A and B are shown apart, each in its own frame.
Chain A
Amino acid sequence: MIIRIFLLASILLMVIVLLKARPSGGRLAMTRLIGFAVALGAAASVIAPSLVTEAANLVGVREGPNLILYVLVVVFVFTTITQNVRIRELDRRLANLARAQALLDFDRSVDAHESTVDSVHPRG
């Protein structure tokens, strides 16, 4: 069945692409393009519901709504993975920021401590 090959291949492709690429302009653009395509398809299905069934029959799915469900599943997986990768990257940046802040704070407290020691016991 064409639909099975299509669905499995697209899921696999997305996982590979998403995990491979660093977040960049190119991937962002691709995400947006896919988003537009999905939106266009949704609009078309609203305007002419019979188109969905025809499209479904074309790829070997009996009912139009089934095709929509399959596509939604793929989109959902895609979105989840994208967000996961993004959150992990954000976490990493956040940790680096917190770490820098901790070291800075420490340096500052050491400086402050040294200057009070100097003023209490003036040298020379």
Chain B
Amino acid sequence: MYNEGPVVGEVVSELLGTFPHVVCVDDGSKDGSAAAARAAGAKVLSHPINLGQGAALQTGFDYMLARTDATHVVTFDADGQYLVSDAAAMVTKAFATSVDIVLGSRNLGQTEGQPFTRRVLMAAALRFSRTVTGIELTDTHNGLRVLTRSAAAQMNLRQFGMAHASEIESRVAAASLTWCEHPVTMRYSDYSRSKGQSNLNALNILFDLATDRLGATA
């Protein structure tokens, strides 16, 4: 989370109603998000500086692998875009199907109040990621996921910004992890819209992915 003070407490307490452990990675927030999350009962890991969402996710995975013996981990955005009930259903699905990773898909579910330009952009991003990874997802860059311990160990994310979502998909392809999707409902509230990414950020993601590819294969 990064500067999600107004909502994170509520998100954490909602989660704690269903899940026994909530770990919040505070990505160098300046607005007391860490204290709010801690007060709500989450375990809080604090980056001393802001690094980006990908880096925060990796910190969460590292914590899970090094300090717990959990079998599954849920990744859940701190801004309240997702429903706890969706997360719970995805965990049930993960146990039932024993796939390595369950990915949330807003296109199988409902999306409330998504701006039109964002919908067009996400459609283009989806086509791109299908082509690149060869995985026939129905959604991309959805932050709600359930990973098994071994899947989390495969991640080792190097993209610290938003491109990590594509990176996760390429890890799934590279390590031939088994996966399935689950419909999720997204709440694009005024809060998340005001906090959310600019559409132009898609260009940054493309650039990050392209240059990383050069660096990795050469």
Q: Chain A: residues with CB nearer than 8 A to chain B?
A: 16, 19-20, 84-85, 88, 91-92, 94-95, 98-99, 101-103, 105-107
**Does B206 sit at the interface, judged by CB under 8 A?**
no
B49 / chain A contacts, CB cutoff of 8 Å: 94, 98
**Does B188 sit at the interface, judged by CB under 8 A?**
no
Nearest residue (CB) in B for A110 is B43
**Does B211 sit at the interface, judged by CB under 8 A?**
yes
Whether B214 and A102, one on each chain, are in contact in the complex, defined by CB atoms closer than 8 angstroms, is no
Given contacts A94-B51, A98-B55, contact A84 B211 (CB under 8 A): yes
Chain B interface residue count, Cβ-Cβ cutoff 8 angstroms: 22
Q: How many A-B residue pairs have CB under 8 A?
A: 51
Q: Measured between alpha carbons, how far is A20 from B55 in the docked complex, in Å?
A: 25
Nearest residue (CB) in A for B51 is A95
Q: Measured between alpha carbons, how far is A72 from B108 in the docked complex, in Å?
A: 53
B58 / chain A contacts, CB cutoff of 8 Å: 95, 99
Partner of B215, one of A88, A99, A103, A107: A88
Interface bits B58-80 vs A (CB < 8 Å: 1, else 0): 11001100110000000000000
Q: Measured between alpha carbons, how far is A63 from B15 in the docked complex, in Å?
A: 71
**Does B142 sit at the interface, judged by CB under 8 A?**
no
**Does B103 sit at the interface, judged by CB under 8 A?**
no
A sample of 16 cross-chain residue pairs with beta-carbon separation below 8 angstroms, ordered by A number, consists of A19-B215, A84-B211, A88-B211, A94-B51, A95-B51, A98-B51, A98-B59, A99-B58, A99-B59, A99-B62, A102-B45, A103-B67, A105-B46, A106-B44, A106-B63, A107-B67
Q: Chain B: residues with CB nearer than 8 A to chain A?
A: 25, 43-49, 51, 55, 58-59, 62-63, 66-67, 158, 160, 211, 214-215, 218
Q: Main SS of chain B's interface residues?
A: mixed
A106 / chain B contacts, CB cutoff of 8 Å: 43-46, 63, 67
A103 / chain B contacts, CB cutoff of 8 Å: 45, 59, 62-63, 66-67
Q: Measured between alpha carbons, how far is A99 from B58 in the docked complex, in Å?
A: 9
B214 / chain A contacts, CB cutoff of 8 Å: 19
Whether B48 and A101, one on each chain, are in contact in the complex, defined by CB atoms closer than 8 angstroms, is yes
Nearest residue (CB) in A for B43 is A106
* Min CB gap B216→A, angstroms: 9
Partner of B47, one of A19, A84, A88, A99: A99
